[in-house]
Amino acid sequence: MKNIVLVGMMSSGKSTLGKKLARALNYKFVDLDKLIEKDQGMDIPSLFSQKGESYFRDIESRLLKETIENQRIVLATGGGTPCFFDNMDFIKNLGISIFLDVSAADLARRIENHGKDDRPILSGTTFLETTLQHKIDERLPYYSQADITMKGDIEVTHLLKMLQPLL
């Protein structure tokens, strides 16, 4: 059985959907950001502020590439993961990639509900929706390489039907 890799912007639902999907498929759920925090012994905002984004992206890429094919996992990547190094090529070879395509307005609403403090890429941002739209536009060439694109609110049952022929 192939791995499933979820890509998309921060707050697009990768972790939430990933956990549900993993349960439905009897796969293991893996959150790349949690692996980074465990590996580095600090949370992502601290890692960004103390070591910088370049260091973070190196660690992120290393840990992504330690993921093994066909291990029956659902992997939630960080929002920027596909956009650095050859990560998107690796993701595509790792299993079935799914882009969770959520509008900037919906992302902004979700982030405002949770708070921006845990999103270092947004620190100091005043115009959240505009900033998110810019990030989406910047990252879309990577995200659009995914095998499947899902828009809006995604039901696990619908996604399972789409995945069955690919697994």
All domains of the chain in start order, with CATH = 3-161 (3.40.50.300)
CA distance 109 to 144: 23
pLDDT at 121: 56
CA angle 18, 128, 75 (to 5 degrees): 15
- The whole-number average pLDDT for the span 17-30 is 96
Q: Which two tokens stand for residue 147?
A: 């095998």
Q: Is 60 exceeded by the pLDDT of residue 117? A: no
Q: Which two tokens stand for residue 155?
A: 């039901």
CB 94 within 8 A of CB 3: yes
Q: Which residue has the higher pLDDT, 14 or 70?
A: 14
pTM score: 0.92
